[in-house]
């Protein structure tokens, strides 16, 4: 290789390696910032749950208890006041009934004495005047006074009993017990008030903690946003360098195949760097492409720095199984694409390609002999290494439509060690000979927990992807509309200048009827004298000489359009551009308001997920759909480690992860998670569903 090509290739490799190193560093910072943001969001959600729990405890328990205690205390106050008043009235009643009984007894004694006197009179009359009118009146009076005396005795007895029973009323005991009740209710009120104050303080402290945690989350969000921008810029920079200096060499993967891993190498073919007509030995249509053959070689990433053109030439000359020629049928335009399977090719060390190992690709090209002679350079071509890639088997993700969570009823009997209230179930076709573990996680969906996070589209996986798509879409909009706008503005400016030069209408002037007017102005500034100067019209002022236009005719505006029509076209193009930009501003609200992806799911601690087991009655190693289940009880937590909250909605997410022989390289397999954005959420209930009791039918049959 000559010194120029050698230096050029070294410069390209250095630029790519430098950008790749920077990309790896930024990617490490990105991952660190991503985990920091995830845990900061988890801390904020945890703080939100604590605020919710404290507020629920305050509203549902402490506040009602305090209100009940206040009501009972008021009743106790009324009771003791009533008891005191009753004591006063009872004492007064005892005195009054005693006085009344005494007065009644005096009256009864008087009536009895009167009855005795009337009886004596009746005896005298009976003896002296029997069967006379006086006798009849005396007898009648005697009978009446006897009845009166009897009734007086009864009244006297009743008044004595009333006095006795009134004095027996234990109002003092009632007052004492009322005082005891009052003291007890005051104590209960004090306890409930203390509990209420403590609960209120917990709500306040939880709210303050939430505010502090939210502030830290915003710092983590800002740091992640900055690193995300830097990461995207590094990826774009590497892509741009690779595109311009390394044939746009890329390695992509088709849909994952379990038994036949493969990849596709794509690159732009080398073109002649100078006009075709200068080369006589390359007849069209192959003239722009001086290569006769391209070869693809796979190199371990650890050895890419020592892979050189001489090594590639030796490999090609040995005709082994460690390179592959690009199929001419795979060339589309000036881009070549070659599909390669893992069993089709060895690496440059003649080792079989191993899934989970990092490789790079080199493109080795052989120039046509005539081209070599024409440029007097007989070295072949070797590209810089591609970006590292790893072949993996992508594990099958659980379909979101197959995930179901149902609430258990009172009659359902889960395993004895599971006090479960709900059951998660799903089905999936197993991948043969690949042991897969399905980890079930529950992401909090409740808007009141993630309300401060869900509006920040950039800090969610979906929002980040949408932001990157919007950047690409905005770039396409700029590339599509800005050249048109610039061209129209340039044409309008040219027509405006031309119209000013012609002294005509600047709005209706068309390029079709405008001509370049060139005037020669003498040094003294006076207009040139002419023999055929028109006669001056009365009232006219001499026209001032126009500006000098020394432009060539080719620089003037194109002909055929007026300024008005071009302005209308310009406004239409600008309106179309703004309409296209408005489409980019329509963002959908994320179902999950925090950052979550496969990498974070793999990092969830063991206590924060549940491992699915084969459903009751199922068999292992079935080739058809396999059913799995997870019982949800009070010990289950969300992905952040918080116990599930009664009445809160969650989204079930299932991580498919390799769980086989530890001696096997785990990098051979790529984990996947279910599509939680399209998974139906469920509400967690701490109790089983109670059967509905139908009201008894009491109607006559």
Residue 494, C-beta contacts closer than 8 angstroms, at least 6 positions apart: 511, 555, 556, 557
* pLDDT surpassing 60 at residue 505: no
Q: How far separated are the first and last CA of the chain, in Å rounded? A: 108
Dist CA 411 CA 692 (whole Å): 12
Residue 196, C-beta contacts closer than 8 angstroms, at least 6 positions apart: 58, 62, 63, 65, 66
Secondary structure (3-state) at 601:
helix
Lowest mean per-residue pLDDT among 92-106, 428-442, 444-458, 646-660: 444-458
Secondary structure (3-state) at 628:
strand
Query: What was the pLDDT predicted at 510?
Result: 46
Query: What was the pLDDT predicted at 511?
Result: 41
pLDDT band, very low/low/confident/very high, at 321 (cuts 50, 70, 90): very high
Secondary structure (3-state) at 641:
coil
Q: What is the pLDDT of residues 208-258, one digit of tens each?
A: 998 898 889 889 988 988 998 899 899 989 999 999 999 999 999 876 544
User: Residues 155-159: what's their mean pLDDT?
Assistant: 87
Q: Which residue has the higher pLDDT, 3 or 145?
A: 145
Dist CA 384 CA 17 (whole Å): 10
Beta-carbon count within 10 A of 5 CB? 14
Dist CA 629 CA 398 (whole Å): 13
Dist CA 73 CA 415 (whole Å): 48
**Percent of residues, the chain, with pLDDT higher than 90:** 30
Q: What is the pLDDT of residues 459-476, one digit of tens each?
A: 556 656 666 677 777 878
Overall residue count recorded for the chain in this entry: 701
Residue spans of beta strands (DSSP E) within 262-392: 262-268, 291-300, 324-325, 331-332, 335-341, 358-367, 381-382, 389-390
Secondary structure (3-state) at 470:
helix
Name the residue with tokens 């746009």: 248
Q: Residue 488 burial by CB count (10 A; 0-12/13-18/19+): exposed, middle or buried? A: buried
Secondary structure (3-state) at 539:
coil
Query: What was the pLDDT predicted at 557?
Result: 41
Q: Which residue has the higher pLDDT, 689 or 269?
A: 269
* pLDDT surpassing 80 at residue 426: yes
Q: What is the pLDDT of residues 370-399, one digit of tens each?
A: 878 877 878 889 999 999 999 888 898 999
Q: What is the pLDDT of residues 355-377, one digit of tens each?
A: 889 999 999 999 888 878 877 87
Query: What was the pLDDT predicted at 538?
Result: 34
Residue 346, C-beta contacts closer than 8 angstroms, at least 6 positions apart: 298, 320, 321, 322, 352, 353
* pLDDT surpassing 70 at residue 89: yes
Which element (helix H / strand E) includes 613? strand 613-614
* pLDDT surpassing 50 at residue 550: no
Query: What was the pLDDT predicted at 232?
Result: 87
Query: What was the pLDDT predicted at 536?
Result: 35
* pLDDT surpassing 80 at residue 591: no
Residue 563 DSSP symbol: H
User: Is pTM beyond 0.75 here?
Assistant: no
* pLDDT surpassing 60 at residue 549: no
The top-scoring range by mean pLDDT among 412-426, 564-578, 609-623 is 564-578
- Report yes or no: 509 and 499 within 8 Å, Cβ to Cβ: yes
User: Residues 499-523: what's their mean pLDDT?
Assistant: 48
User: Residues 490-511: what's their mean pLDDT?
Assistant: 69
Residue 529 DSSP symbol: P
Query: What was the pLDDT predicted at 621?
Result: 58
User: Residues 572-589: what's their mean pLDDT?
Assistant: 75
Query: What was the pLDDT predicted at 639?
Result: 93
Q: What is the pLDDT of residues 632-674, one digit of tens each?
A: 998 999 999 999 988 889 999 999 999 877 666 677 888 999 9
Query: What was the pLDDT predicted at 590?
Result: 63
* pLDDT surpassing 50 at residue 534: no
Q: Which two tokens stand for residue 400?
A: 């979101």
Secondary structure of 657-690 in HEC code, one letter for each residue: EECCCCCCCHHHEECEECCHHHCCCEECCCCCEC
pLDDT band, very low/low/confident/very high, at 694 (cuts 50, 70, 90): low
* pLDDT surpassing 90 at residue 23: yes
Name the residue with tokens 């209420």: 196
Q: Which of 355, 429, 452 is nearest to 44 (CA)?
A: 452
Average pLDDT, the chain: 80
Name the residue with tokens 């990105």: 30
* pLDDT surpassing 90 at residue 612: yes
Query: What was the pLDDT predicted at 497?
Result: 84
User: Is it true that the peptide bond before 285 is cis, omega within 30 degrees of 0?
Assistant: yes
User: Residues 259-263: what's their mean pLDDT?
Assistant: 70
- Report yes or no: 437 and 657 within 8 Å, Cβ to Cβ: yes
Query: What was the pLDDT predicted at 701?
Result: 45
Dist CA 201 CA 190 (whole Å): 16
Q: What is the pLDDT of residues 108-117, one digit of tens each?
A: 888 888 888 8
Query: What was the pLDDT predicted at 679?
Result: 92
Query: What was the pLDDT predicted at 698?
Result: 53
CA 321 to chain centre: 50
Residue 557, C-beta contacts closer than 8 angstroms, at least 6 positions apart: 491, 494, 495, 498, 511, 514
* pLDDT surpassing 60 at residue 289: yes
Query: What was the pLDDT predicted at 194?
Result: 92
Q: Using alpha carbons only, how large is the chain's radius of gyration in Å?
A: 51
Query: What was the pLDDT predicted at 518?
Result: 34
pLDDT band, very low/low/confident/very high, at 352 (cuts 50, 70, 90): very high
- Report yes or no: 574 and 485 within 8 Å, Cβ to Cβ: yes
* pLDDT surpassing 70 at residue 65: yes
User: Which residues, in sequence order, are bridge partners of residue 336?
Assistant: 267, 331
Lowest mean per-residue pLDDT among 8-12, 273-277, 586-590: 586-590
Query: What was the pLDDT predicted at 587?
Result: 54
- Report yes or no: 474 and 462 within 8 Å, Cβ to Cβ: no
* pLDDT surpassing 90 at residue 425: yes
Residue 130 DSSP symbol: T
- Report yes or no: 435 and 417 within 8 Å, Cβ to Cβ: no
């Amino acid at each position: 290789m000559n010194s120029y090509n050698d230096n050029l290739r070294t410069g390209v490799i250095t630029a790519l390696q430098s950008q790749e190193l920077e990309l790896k560093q930024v990617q490490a910072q990105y991952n660190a910032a991503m985990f920091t943001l995830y845990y900061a969001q988890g801390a904020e959600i945890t703080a939100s749950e604590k605020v919710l729990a404290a507020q629920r405890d305050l509203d549902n328990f402490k506040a009602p208890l305090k209100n009940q205690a206040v009501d009972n205390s008021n009743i106790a106050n009324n009771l003791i006041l009533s008891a005191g008043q009753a004591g006063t009235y009872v004492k007064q009643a005892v005195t009054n009934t005693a006085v009344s009984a005494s007065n009644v007894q005096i009256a009864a004694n008087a009536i009895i004495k009167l009855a005795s006197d009337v009886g004596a009179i009746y005896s005298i009359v009976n003896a002296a005047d029997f069967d006379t009118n006086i006798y009849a009146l005396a007898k009648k009076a005697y009978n009446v006074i006897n009845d009166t005396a009897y009734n007086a005795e009864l009244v006297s007895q009743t008044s004595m009993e009333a006095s006795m029973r009134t004095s027996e009323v234990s109002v003092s005991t009632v007052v004492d017990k009322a005082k005891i009740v009052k003291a007890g209710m005051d104590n209960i009120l004090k306890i409930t008030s203390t509990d209420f104050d403590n609960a209120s303080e917990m709500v306040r402290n939880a709210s303050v903690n939430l505010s502090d945690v939210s502030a830290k989350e915003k710092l983590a969000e800002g740091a992640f946003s900055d690193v995300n921008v830097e990461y995207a810029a590094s990826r774009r920079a590497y892509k741009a360098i690779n595109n311009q200096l390394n044939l746009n060499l890329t390695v992509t993967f088709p849909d994952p195949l379990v038994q036949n891993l493969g990849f596709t190498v794509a690159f732009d073919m080398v073109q002649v760097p100078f006009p075709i007509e200068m080369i006589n030995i390359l007849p069209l249509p192959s003239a722009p492409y001086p290569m006769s053959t391209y070869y693809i070689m796979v190199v371990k990433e650890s050895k890419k720095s020592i892979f050189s053109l001489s090594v590639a030439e030796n490999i090609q000359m040995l005709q082994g199984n460690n390179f592959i020629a690009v199929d001419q049928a795979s060339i589309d335009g000036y881009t070549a694409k070659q599909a390669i399977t893992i069993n089709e090719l060895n690496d440059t060390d003649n080792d079989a390609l191993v899934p989970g190992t990092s490789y790079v690709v080199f493109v080795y090209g052989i120039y046509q002999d005539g081209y070599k002679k024409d440029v007097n350079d007989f070295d072949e071509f070797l590209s810089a290494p591609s970006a590292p890639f790893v072949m993996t088997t992508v594990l099958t993700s659980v379909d979101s439509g197959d995930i179901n969570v149902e609430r258990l009823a009172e009659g359902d009997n889960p395993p004895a060690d599971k006090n479960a209230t709900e059951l998660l179930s799903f089905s999936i076709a197993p991948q043969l000979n690949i042991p897969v573990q399905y980890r079930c996680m529950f992401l909090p969906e409740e808007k009141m927990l993630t309300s401060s996070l869900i509006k920040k589209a950039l800090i969610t996986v979906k929002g980040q992807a949408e932001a990157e798509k919007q950047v690409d879409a905005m770039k396409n909009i700029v590339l599509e509309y800005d050249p048109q706008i610039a061209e129209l503005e340039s044409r309008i400016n040219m027509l405006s200048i031309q119209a000013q030069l012609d002294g005509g209408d600047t709005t209706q002037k068309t390029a079709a009827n405008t001509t370049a007017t060139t005037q020669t102005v003498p040094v003294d500034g006076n207009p040139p004298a002419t023999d055929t100067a028109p006669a001056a019209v009365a009232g006219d002022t001499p026209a001032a000489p126009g500006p000098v236009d020394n432009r060539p005719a080719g620089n003037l505006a194109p002909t055929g359009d007026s300024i008005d029509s071009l302005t209308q076209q310009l406004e239409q193009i600008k309106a179309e551009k703004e309409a296209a930009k408005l489409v980019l501003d329509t963002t959908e609200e994320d179902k999950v308001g925090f950052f979550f992806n496969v990498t974070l799911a793999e990092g969830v601690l063991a206590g924060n997920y549940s491992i699915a087991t084969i459903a009751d009655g199922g068999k292992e190693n079935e080739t058809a759909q396999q059913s799995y289940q997870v019982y949800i009880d009070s010990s289950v937590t969300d992905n952040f480690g918080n116990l599930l909250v009664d009445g809160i909605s969650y989204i079930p997410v299932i991580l498919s992860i390799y769980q086989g022989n530890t001696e096997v390289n785990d990098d051979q397999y790529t984990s996947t998670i279910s599509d939680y954005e399209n998974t139906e959420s469920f509400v967690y209930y701490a109790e089983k569903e109670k059967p509905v009791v139908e009201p008894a039918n009491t109607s006559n049959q």
